Amino acid sequence: MTGAFPSPYGGQLPVLRIGDVLLVTLQGDLHDGTAEQLQEDVSEAAADSRVKGVVIDLSGVEIVDSFLGRVLSDIAAKTRLLAAETVVAGMRPAVAITLVELGLTLPGLRTALSSDEAIRLLGEVSISPRHERTRQESP
Amino acid sequence: MPEQVAAGHQETPAQEVGDFLRRRREQIAQRWADAALFRTVFTVSREEAVEAGRAVVEALAAVAAAERVEEQEADGFSVVREQLARMAASRSRAGSTNSQISVEVDALRMPVVDLLIAELEGRPAEDVRDCTTALTVLMGTLRLVVLETLLSAGQELINRQHLQLLEVATPVIKLWEGIVAVPLIGTLDSARSQVVMETLLDSIVEQHARFAILDITGVPTVDSLVAQHLMKTVAAARLMGAECIVSGIRPAIAQTIVHLGIDLGTVKTQASLADALGYALRKQGAHIVPQDPHHAGSR
């Protein structure tokens, strides 16, 4: 799928648009330069196409450092300014433990088990916020 | 014959003891079969006890012949080490303490020494003393070897049980589609908390669970370290896209947490496991309706 795009190590990651959601899939090791480039790409794409959500799929990432943690929360903060919500999906247990041990609990970030779930989550948020509230009120 | 005696005098006491043990193997084994240690271990037949005794004498003879009577690591012992371990284990299963077993092993010494003294009758007193000393040292080493196998068996048992405890103590239960729970029982230390965290996070991925419940009803005390571990687990589960609920905090523990000034504000808590399950089900969109026959009929 990524064959049509330049190699990730060329400094760019594919940012796919699916409906009104942007999907970014991270694989393997991520260079700091790539991560920074990603930040710009995502915020530009979000501004251009006026999407309502950004899904960052981390299921292919096995090692993270504090820099990537910060990049993730930066992306979330930027897209929020552009009225889009960022959801991090499919984080592995080892990665989650590492981030927590580093003290990066990423409080402002939404998370989901998989990309599929993340897209559904984004759909729920904007289409039927009312449903969720009524559900909570009447047990 | 005189040549043989002359050759015998050339031998060191240890080698002489080795020769003696080999020569009198059968006799010693017979006597040992009546000793408490062999009699109680090999209850089925006397023949078996004699057989085992023969093997031990053989090993002792080899150790003595190699002049290594003081060394527990002597090659001769490795042959019978397993057998000795089995015997010692059987005794300790029967309820004997280590020192009782040690006394039983020591009881094997006298029959052999008696035989040796009888054998050396007529020899110079100096020779008799040297040989007896060598034999006594050898039997002391045997005793040490037995005790060592006992202790290492105990240590192995402890290690194995420790591992088992870690595995057994942290079952992850699937309560519902997309809901997993870990009922924690007993004192939490950091090693256990780590295992809990890892197994819970792994099962979140495996079961594709959106809700994870940490039930601490069975945890007697919570200190700041444990609380920190709980919070880490909750944070990691959240990063993976699951919501983690802590349930079953008992009043005493709640008081401790407040006293310690730990802020569990970011953690979703519920009174009991049932409440936590109910909360998770509601959040998933499931409704729990009591079955009421009257209502069902009127509808």
- Extents of the domains making up chain B: 9-156, 173-284
**A78-87, A88-97, B162-171: which is most confident:** A88-97
Which positions ≥6 away from A121 have C-beta within 8 Å?
A: A87, A110, A112
What are the φ and ψ backbone dihedral angles of B52, each rounded to 5 degrees? Answer: -65, -40
**Predicted pLDDT at A11:** 61
Evaluate if residue A2 carries a pLDDT over 80: no
From B149's Cα to the closest Cα of chain A, the distance in A is 40
The helix (run of H) or strand (run of E) holding residue B179 is strand B179-185
In chain B, which residues have pLDDT < 50? 1-8, 298-299
Say which residues have a Cβ less than 8 Å from residue A29's Cβ, sequence separation at least 6. A63
The shortest C-alpha distance from B277 to chain A (Å) reads 13
- Which of A90, A93, A118 minimises the CB distance to B201? A93
Distance CA A15, CA A24 (A): 5
Alpha carbons within 13 angstroms on the beta-carbon side of residue B285 total: 6
Long-range CB contacts for residues B148-154, cutoff 8 Å, separation at least 24: B148/B72, B149/B81, B149/B84, B149/B85, B149/B88, B150/B85, B150/B88, B150/B89, B150/B92, B150/B98, B150/B101, B151/B98, B153/B85, B153/B88, B153/B89, B153/B92
Task: Spell out the domains of chain A, with CATH numbers in brackets.
Answer: 2-137 (3.30.750.24)
The predicted pLDDT at position B290 comes to: 83
Q: What is the CA radius of gyration of chain A?
A: 15
Q: Which of B238, B239, B277 to mutate to test the interface with A (most CBs of A within 10 A)?
A: B239
- Interchain pair B266, A107: CB under 8 A: yes
CA distance A53 to A37: 19
The H or E element spanning position B197 is helix B190-207
State which residue of chain A sits closest to B200, comparing Cα positions. A93
pLDDT at B122: 84
Task: Please choose, from the candidates B234, B84, B209, B196, the residue with its C-alpha nearest in 3D space to the C-alpha of residue B150.
Answer: B84
- Share the mean pLDDT of chain A: 79
pLDDT digits (tens, 9 = 90+) for A100-114: 988 888 887 889 999
Amino acid identity at B175:
L
Gap between the Cα atoms of B222 and B63, Å rounded: 56
Residue B144 to residue B131: CA distance in whole angstroms: 20
pLDDT of residue A46: 84
pLDDT at residue B9 in the model: 53
User: Strands A15-18 and B268-270: what pairing?
Assistant: unpaired
Question: Dihedral sign, CA of A132, A84, A108, A106?
Answer: positive
Residues of B in contact with A114 (CB under 8 A): 208, 241
Q: Does B9 touch chain A (CB under 8 A)?
A: no
CA distance B268 to chain A (A): 14
Residue A18 has a pLDDT of 84
Contact across the interface for A106 and B232, Cβ inside 8 Å: no
CATH class of this structure's domain B173-284: alpha beta
Asked if the interface predicted TM-score (ipTM) of this complex is over 0.85, the answer is no
Closest chain A C-alpha to B37 CA, distance in angstroms:
54
pLDDT score recorded for residue A105: 83
- Chain A residues within an 8 Å CB radius of B208: 113-114
Task: Give the DSSP H or E segment for A23.
Answer: strand A21-27
User: Out of A107, A111, A136, whose CB is closest to B240?
Assistant: A111
Model pLDDT for residues B63-81, shown as the tens digit of each residue? 888 888 888 887 888 888 8
B278 vs A99: CB contact, 8 Å cut-off?
Answer: no
How does pLDDT run across A47-71, given as a tens digit for each residue?
888 788 899 999 888 888 888 888 8
Residues ≥6 apart with Cβ < 8 Å to B186: B169, B218, B219, B220
> In the CATH scheme, what is the code of domain B9-156?
1.10.490
**Chain A partners of B205 at a C-beta cutoff of 8 Å?**
92-93, 113
**CB atoms < 10 A from the CB of B129, how many?**
12
Distance in Å from the first CA to the final CA of chain A? 44
Nearest CB neighbour to B241, from listed A91, A100, A139: A91
- Is it the case that residue A8 has pLDDT exceeding 50? no
| Contact between B36 and B104 (Cβ < 8 Å) | yes
User: Given A91, A114, A135, which is nearest B239 (Cβ)?
Assistant: A91
Please give the interface size between A and B, counted as residue pairs whose CB atoms are below 8 Å apart.
Answer: 68
How does pLDDT run across B97-153, given as a tens digit for each residue? 888 888 888 888 888 888 888 888 888 888 888 888 888 888 888 888 888 888 888
